[in-house]
Chains A and B, each alone.
Chain A
Amino acid sequence: MQFKATMMDAAGVLRAITRITHEILEHNKGAESLAIVGIHTRGIPLAKRIADRIAQLEGIVVPTGKLDITLYRDDLWEIGLQPIVRQTEIEFSMAGRQVILVDDVLYTGRTVRAGLDALIDLGRPKNIQLAVLVDRGHRELPIRADYVGKNLPTARLEVVKVRLTETDGGHDVVELWERE
């Protein structure tokens, strides 16, 4: 794979998260009844950062959760290597909640579809909204994000690599690479 460009640096990621947080608060008129659920793997630290920001801005602690969608994927027979099932940790009740689902990259939309199924199997939230750091286009399902850090039109051959301190060490960065 060939590196092409840095699309967001650490400062850019920080600004995006700040803006997304403000948009969430604006759209939902505050933090009441919100819950933030991150999709494994990088959705989880992003969800936590948003929740922390909300705590700073509104003084409210919004419940967070972790969602593993492995058992809901629609491509389990294609991937060859057996995916490891990881922890889903949702300690709050879904009833009456406005759940913000968080992931790093929105691409075909299949991961989010699996996330929606997984969430709904856990209960009936009042609504589900989607926040992503990067939307790279090429949707294969009618799914859209409510909050987007950066819109990044890409070619199918390209790969968007997101690295976050919590999961990958070092600085946050969003890079564009190309497959040979």
Chain B
Amino acid sequence: MKHLLDFDDWNRGELESILETSNMMEQVLERPIKKVPALQGFTICTAFFENSTRTKVSFELAARRMSADVVSFASGASSLSKGESLRDTLETLKAMRMDCFIVRHPASGAAHQVAKFSNSPTVNAGDGRRAHPTQALLDAYTLKKHFGKLEGLKVAIIGDVRHSRVARSNAQLLKILGADVTLCGPAPLLPRELSGMARLTTDPLEAVKGAHAVMALRIQQERLSSGFLSSLYEYRAGYQVNEKLLKGAREDAIVMHPGPMLRDLEISGTLASSGRSVILEQVENGVAVRMAVLYHLLVGKK
């Protein structure tokens, strides 16, 4: 049984195959009837213990487009508030015969726990700050659509890298697929331990030099009170992804953001809405990519 918890157990061939299938799924989404019966009879449970708009809706759509039945578990309205543990919650859901779990949880490793207890294919929709593999896949797919390939692409990821599962998963995936990643942010938000995964720099001009894509990460207000950031003005002045910073990148460079974004904070509002921005395309591609992920994990495996 295979899970998509991160990319530790995935090889390049398998990942490229998911991107290929995403392309086919995209075509399904262009038809008048956006449905295929491939996952008919499967019950997929989205278990979100953390807020989400795009990821949750994206997964639900992906599952429904494949004709699966979707059950949604939102922690706010669940018995977790009565003190039920994660394990018991899962065993309860498992007793109702779920074929697949899609989990988002504030604790790292939560998806691994779900995979272990549920004994069903599990997709990590974001665990703590550790990983968010489907985001990385849709980002890679978006890049590949734009540039025709991933090998040799130079990608700069700028923002609060320390607290970003998106940055970690992107760095891991893009490295496997042959792209060149630079992680950039103010020193307190750029952990040295990541130097094995990607190039690290606190200088955004250096990060974007020759880059095919510049990805901005959300700045969280909470970081101010915990001492990681001195002031938002300072962050904006030094690290905002805006037209001026993009001048250092390639002329055909695209601008990405996993969302949700704070316009004019980590990314300038005008750039986010410009022709160089592929932010909405990322969201659109997310459904096709998640359909491909579900296809690869569930089809032929019952």
Chain A interfacial positions (CB closer than 8 Å to B): 68, 70-72, 76-77, 79-88, 117, 121-123
Contacts and interface: CB of A to CB of B under 8 A. Distances in A.
Contacts of B301: 77, 82
A77 B302 contact: yes
Shortest beta-carbon contacts, A-B, top 9:
A71-B36, A77-B302, A85-B24, A121-B33, A71-B38, A82-B300, A76-B299, A85-B21, A79-B300
Nearest to A89: B27
Given A72-B37, A72-B38, A121-B36, 11 more contacts: A70-B38, A71-B36, A76-B300, A79-B300, A80-B300, A83-B299, A84-B20, A88-B27, A117-B37, A122-B31, A122-B33
Given A76-B299, A77-B301, A87 B24 contact: yes
B36 A77 contact: no
5 contacts: A71-B28, A71-B37, A79-B300, A84-B21, A117-B37
Judged by DSSP, the binding face of A is loop
Interface residues of B, number: 21
A165 B36 CA distance: 32
A84 B36 CA distance: 15
Contact of B31 (A80, A81, A121): A121
A122 B35 CA distance: 10
Contacts of B28: 71
A81 B32 contact: no
B29 to A, nearest CB: 12
B296 interface: yes
Nearest to A118: B36
